[in-house]
Amino acid sequence: MSSSTATVPGRHAAQPRQDNRRWWALSVIALAQLMVVLDATIMSIALPSAQRDLGLTDGSRQWVVTAYTLAFGGLLLVGGRVADRVGRKRAFVVGLVGFGAASAVGGAATGPAMLFAARAGQGCFAALLAPSALSLLATTFTDGKERAKAFGVFGALAAAGGGIGLLLGGILTQYLDWRWCLYVNVAIAAVGVAGAAFFLDHRAGHRAAGFDGPGIVLGSGGLVTVVYAVSRAESDGWGSGTVLALLAGGVALLAAFTWWQARAASPLLPLRIIASRAHGGPVLTLCLAMVGLFGAFFFLTYYLQNVLGYSALKSGFAFLPMSATILLTSTQLSARLLSRVAPRLMIAPGLAIAAIGMLTFTALSTHSAYATHVLPGAVLLGFGMGLVFMPVMATATAGVAPQDAGVTSAAVSTAQQVGGSLGTALLNTVATSSTSHWISSRLAGDGTLTTAAQRRAMAGAGVVHGFVTAFWWAAAIMFAGALVAAVVINVPSPRHRATT
């Protein structure tokens, strides 16, 4: 009798320790995800200082951002398959170490070439780290309620990381030096490696996750070409012959990639994953959501700094309410609802609310106030995206075979990355062309603008008109995402699945 009662506490005591270890693992995974996401925006704030320090030309400065996004977006599918093959923890640690080392090189850069190479190195290791982190999360948390909470935290960081990057970049640049926007990753990576050693379980890779040589060439080549075309469109315009040729080439490579995946013995991205409404639907929805969200980050940053005259640091703080709303909604509302309702009943309304928030920005003018014209829309946008990110990521990675977890996570990360890049370039083109047309049409009909002050006022009003036009487009794209989520995603609620 006594021995029996003695063993029961031991069994029950072991479970909380195991649970605690799993939640510590979440903190390590989330930290790595935050590092990858914020690095997409943190250097945007630091770029003017880096340009002055290293003598970057106006034509070459874009490569500080482009080198990262090209390598990251182009190699994600390869990184996901490598994680499946060698083991997710091993790939995670290698990604952390490589990202930290590349960041150190970038922080110590003595010239443009060294900085560009370091940013490309960051992108390569981010392409290994991001799918490893998401697949570790998907395989570590399998219980419904725990999974919802874990994905709530992860999804919040994925959505709010861009705003956090803008804030952190402003703080580091203003009070230390632009180089600390890169050096900070060394400390984050070191903490992540130590945490991975203690809290992440090692699982052997899957030999069934073979390397598909032609698939790697076609898939990565197509993604790199499309991402590069999108980055060129920001400066050259969508009508540029170079941009159109690159887009055509990228689409052709991706079409060939799809054709090959249907025939390859060990495909890089099994088509059954993206053809499934349960997995492909959330991936498409996430891509559309990112188009709108990154457009909001981009244009609100320029509006706050160039129109309202905010400093980089003050602009970063202006994004805090949106980031905080995303975090609270993801962890306190979405995580509780996911175990009770079908995912699309959160995703579709969430995108509709985010679109309404975007529509409030269409009332902005050169004299708008932050508290009355920016803040309400930012909170609505944050609330809507908080309803979207967690269920999208949790649904897209649920029920996937272990040997496909990494590449499925990579497909989710690719949608996030390509959607953000595409949205920034597409909406920037819409804004600049709208501004040019608005100014030229008014100058042609009004010959009274003779003073410099009048011309500056006209230019400022034209820029805001371009931003407003872009916000209309972003809202429309988000409404389209809501429609896709409502029609395509067919996953029932966990409670319904449990009773059928």
What pLDDT is attached to residue 248?
A: 92
Torsion angle, CA of 36/41/43/49, rounded to 10 degrees?
-160
d(CA 449, CA 150): 58
d(CA 325, CA 330): 8
Element (H, E) at 27: helix 2-54
Burial 228-245 (b: 16+ CB within 10 A, else e): bbbbbbbebebeeeebee
What DSSP string runs through 264-299?
A: -SS-SS-HHHHHSHHHHHHHHHHHHHHHHHHHHHHH
Structural tokens at position 125: 């290791």
What DSSP string runs through 318-346?
A: HTHHHHHHHHHIIIIIIHHHTTTS-THHH
d(CA 40, CA 69): 8
d(CA 353, CA 295): 16
pTM for the complete prediction? Answer: 0.76
What pLDDT is attached to residue 11?
A: 40
Largest CA distance in the chain: 100
How many helices (H) and strands (E) would you count in the chain? 18, 0
Burial 78-116 (b: 16+ CB within 10 A, else e): bbbbbbbbbbbbbbbbbbbbbbbbbbbbbbebeebeebb
- 420 touches 288 (CB < 8 A): no
Task: List, in order, residues 6 or more apart from 263 with CB less than 8 Å away.
Answer: none
What pLDDT is attached to residue 383?
A: 93
What pLDDT is attached to residue 279?
A: 78
Residues of the chain with pLDDT under 70: 1-20, 58-62, 142-145, 158-163, 202-211, 234-235, 400-406, 443-455, 493-500
What pLDDT is attached to residue 98?
A: 94
- 486 touches 342 (CB < 8 A): no
d(CA 204, CA 83): 10
What pLDDT is attached to residue 480?
A: 93
Task: List, in order, residues 6 or more apart from 468 with CB less than 8 Å away.
Answer: 361, 362, 363, 364
d(CA 473, CA 434): 12
335-355 pLDDT, tens digit each: 788 778 888 899 999 999 999
